[in-house]
Structure 1
Amino acid sequence: MGEPNVWVVVVNILLATLLSLGGAPILVWMERRVAGLIQDRFGPNRCHIGGIRLFGLVQSVADMLKLAFKEDFHPSHIKQNLIYTLAPAFVFVCAFLTFMVMPLADVLVLDGNRYLMQALPIEFGLLWFLAFAGLSVYGILLGGWASDNKYSLLGSLRASAQVVSYEAAMGLSLVSMLIVYGSVHLSEIAAFQGKLLFGVIPAWGVVLQPLAALIFIITAFAETNRAPFDMAEGESEIVGGFHTEYAAMRFGLFFVGEYIAMCASSAIIVTLFFGGYQIPWASTAFLKGHISEVLGVIMVVLPVLCGLFIGWMRRQNRWIDPLDPRAKETFYLTRVFIGMTVVLELGLAWMVLGGLGENGTSISVAALQVLTFAMKVYAMNFVYIWVRWTLPRFRYDHLQMLSWKVLLPLALANVVITALVVVGMGW
C-alpha cells in the first residue's frame, strides 16, 4: 500500500462516522416506521418544522434535542460515581470502534498508489471487531452494578449470562469462515467474495457457509442486545434493566451505542456473508472496464426511481387536510428531489461525455461500492428491526440452552466438516 494520503484518511473516517453515528437517527426512524407497519398503524407523523416532517425523521431530531437538554439527574444513593459516569461512554466508544475497521470499498488506486478504504486500515480487522464487540458488554455490567439498584443489577447479571451463552458459538462459526477465506483481513475477505462459483454464483459467505451464516446472525442478535435476546433490559420484568438509573445524555449514550452496535453488527454480517461492498456479477475490474456503460445505466434508472418515490410520497400524504401546514411538504420535497435528480443527471452526463481518466474511474467505482455497502447494511438493519417486532423475548436460560445445546454442537460440526472439505479438495 502507498503512503497514507490525508484526504483518503479523512474521507474514510467521515464515511465510517456517517454510516455508524450518523445512521442512528435514521435507524430510530426506521424502528418506529417498521413497527407501525408491522402493527398496522402510523409511525411518527406529527412532529414537523414549518410543515416539513421528512416522513417522521424530524421526530428523531426532536428526540436527540430532548436528550441533549434534559436534566441530567444523578441519583443520590450511587457510590461509584466514576464508574457510573464512564459506563455509557464505554458502551458508545466500543460500538463506534467496531465499525471503524469495515472495508467500505475495494482498494482505491490513485496515481499508482493503493489505499485501503477503511477508517482503521489494519490487517487484523476481524479480531479487532471481536475484541471491541466483546468489551462493550463490560459497559453494561459496570453501569448496572454502579447504579446500586436491584433492577439494574439483574440486567447486568442477565447480560453476563448472555455473554457466556453466545460467545463460544459465535467464535466457532467464524473459525469455519477463516478456514474458507484464509485471512482475518476484512478487505481480503470482501475481495474474495468478488469471485464467481462455476462462473455464475457469487462466492458470498452465505453461499459457501450457510450454516455458519445462520449461527453468526443469531448470536449477533444476542451480542447487540436486540430482541428476541434483549433480556438485559426487559421492560416488563426489570423496568429498564441496566440503564434504569440513567437519564439525559448518559441514557442517550446507551441508546445511541445500541444502534451503532447494530450498524457495526450489520456491517460485519454483510462483509463476511453477503459480499461486503461487492456488486453481484460486477467485480471491481468489470466496473473499471465498463464505467461509462454503468454510469449510463444509472442515468436511465435515476429518474425512474425519483418518479416512483415522488408518487409514493404523494400517496402517503393524501390523507392530510390541504389547510394543514404539513400539506406543504409534498410541494417542497417534490421540487427538492427533482432538483437533486437534475443535478445528478448533469454530473453523470459530464462524467460520461468528458471522460474520467484513471483516477476518476477509481473514485467512481469506489463511490458505487460505498453506496452498495451502505444499502446492504441498511437492509440488514431492517432485518434486525423486523425480527424485534415479530418475535417475543427469550428467557435467558432459553438462550443458554439454544446456544449450548444447539448452536455450539452445530458450529463444532461445521468446523470439522469445513476443514475436511478444504483439506480434501486441496483449496
Structure 2
Amino acid sequence: MFDISMTQVISTILLMLLGIAVGAQVAPIMSWVERRQCAIIQRRLGPNRVGFFKFRLLGLGQPIADAIKLLFKEDFVPPYVHKAFYVLAPVIPVTMGLAVTVAIPWGSHILVNNEVVNLQAVSLNSGFLLIFAFSSLAVYGVTLAGWSSNNKYSLLGGLRASAQMVSYEVAMGLSIIPLIFIWGTLDLQTMITKQSEILWGFLPNWGVFHAPVAFIIFIVAICAETNRLPFDLAESEGELVAGFLTEYGAMRWSLFFLGEYAMMFVMCVLTVSLFFGGYELPWLSQAYLLDTMTPHLGEVVTRWLLLPLGIVVLLTKVIILMWLFVQVRFTIPRFRYDQLMRLGWIYLLPIALVNLIITAIVTAIVKFH
C-alpha cells in the first residue's frame, strides 16, 4: 500500500495546474513575441495598436483579439474528411503538450505540515524519458490530421512530420545519454542539484560545459521535434500550401499551435534543466542560500522564499532560450526535405554515436582511474 498524505495529493494537483496554466499561456505570449521580433528583424512595426482601453502597450492586446476571433470564427468542416479523426487530431498535440508539463521541476523542496514536498508534480527517476514519450505521441495528431483531411497536400505534410520525428528522435535520445554517464542518474532533480556546484573554480557546473556537442545536437533535434523553422517541412507553405493544416481553421487550427508552443516550452525547460542548471542560480546554489538564511529565518520560511526565486530563475533561462528559437526562425531559411533527412541521418546520428562513445570512455577513465 502507498502511504500518500493529503498534503502530497494537494501539492501534486497544484503543481500540475501550475504547469498547465503556464503552458497554456505560452502560445499567445509567443505569438506576440514572434511577430514583434520578426518586425524588428525586417525593419517594420508589427502589432502595436491593440491594447487595453486607451493604452496600446506595444500591441499586447493582439493575442487576446486573435483568441476572440478564433473562438467566434465559423467552424467549417469539409464534407470529404474522415470526421472522427479530423476532430480528434488537434486534441492530441495540445493534450500531450500540456500533459508533459507535469514533469517540470519548479524547484527543490518545501516544507508543508512538517512534510517534505517535491516541487516536481510527477517525481520520477527518469523524468526526461516521460517528456520524450509524450513528445513522441504528439506526432500522432499531425499524422492523423494529414490523413483524415483526405487531401494530398495534407497527407504529405503528415508523412513528413512522422519521418522527421523518427529521424531526429534517435539523435536526440543519443545526445542525452552522455549526461547520464556524467551525472550518474536519470533523475532531473539530482542532475539540477549537481549542476549547482562550481566547475574549475569559476564556472557553474552546467551540463553544457561537460557535453557541448550533446547540447548542439539536442538543440537541433528539439527544433525538428517541435516543427520549428528551419524544420517546419510538415507545413512548408511554398510546397504544400499549409501541409497538415490545409483543411483546418478557427479553434481547431489554433489548437495545433497551442500544442506546438506548449511542447516548445517544455523542451526548453528540459534543455535548461539538463544543460543550464534548471532553477539553480549560478554561483549561488539553493543549498548555499538555505544554509545561509536558515539560522535567521528558519528552514520552512527559507524554503518558501527560495520557491519564487527558483521559478523566476528557471523561467528567465527558458525565456532567453525561446527568444533564441525566434531568432533562428527568422534568420535561417527552410531546408529542403532531402537536406532535412541528410542532416538527421548522415550527420547528427553518427556525431551523436561518436560523442556517446568518447564520453563513455572519458567518464570511465575519470571515475575509475
Unpaired segments of 5 or more residues in structure 1?
A: 293-354
Contact persistence 1:111–1:359 (CA under 8 A): no
102-111 or 408-417, larger mean C-alpha shift: 102-111
Matches within 5 A, 1:23-422: 23-78=26-81, 80-110=82-112, 112-291=114-293, 356-422=297-363
Contact persistence 2:19–2:98 (CA under 8 A): no
CA distance in 2, matches of 1:163, 1:11: 32
RMSD of equivalent CA atoms:
1.9
Find the counterpart in structure 2 of residue 345 from structure 1.
none
Letter in 1 for 2:216: L
Deviation of 1:275 after TM superposition, in Å, equals 0.8
Relative to structure 1, the CA distance from residue 422 to residue 5 in structure 2 (aligned partners, 3 Å threshold; closer, same or farther) is same
Deviation of 1:6 after TM superposition, in Å, equals 4.6
Contact persistence 1:91–1:257 (CA under 8 A): yes
Find the counterpart in structure 2 of residue 18 from structure 1.
21
Unpaired segments of 5 or more residues in structure 2?
A: none
Deviation of 1:2 after TM superposition, in Å, equals 8.0
Contact persistence 2:49–2:58 (CA under 8 A): no
CA distance in 2, matches of 1:16, 1:356: 29
Letter in 2 for 1:380: L
Relative to structure 1, the CA distance from residue 383 to residue 115 in structure 2 (aligned partners, 3 Å threshold; closer, same or farther) is same
Deviation of 1:128 after TM superposition, in Å, equals 0.4
Deviation of 1:7 after TM superposition, in Å, equals 4.7
CA distance in 1, matches of 2:16, 2:159: 35
TM-score computed with the length of structure 1 as normaliser: 0.82
Letter in 1 for 2:329: R
Letter in 2 for 1:418: T
CA distance in 2, matches of 1:20, 1:291: 32
CA distance in 2, matches of 1:421, 1:198: 17
Deviation of 1:374 after TM superposition, in Å, equals 0.8
CA distance in 2, matches of 1:414, 1:73: 50
Counterpart of 2:273 in 1: which secondary structure? helix
Aligned length: 365
Deviation of 1:358 after TM superposition, in Å, equals 2.4
Deviation of 1:24 after TM superposition, in Å, equals 1.9
Question: Considering only CA atoms, is the larger Rg found in Structure 1 or Structure 2?
Answer: 1
CA distance in 1, matches of 2:46, 2:136: 33
Contact persistence 1:291–1:365 (CA under 8 A): no
365-374 or 21-30, larger mean C-alpha shift: 21-30
Letter in 1 for 2:104: M
CA distance in 1, matches of 2:290, 2:56: 40
Letter in 2 for 1:388: R
CA distance in 2, matches of 1:96, 1:182: 29
Higher RCO (CA-CA < 8 Å; seq separation 6+): 1
Contact persistence 2:20–2:99 (CA under 8 A): no
TM-score computed with the length of structure 2 as normaliser: 0.94
Deviation of 1:111 after TM superposition, in Å, equals 5.1
Find the counterpart in structure 2 of residue 314 from structure 1.
none
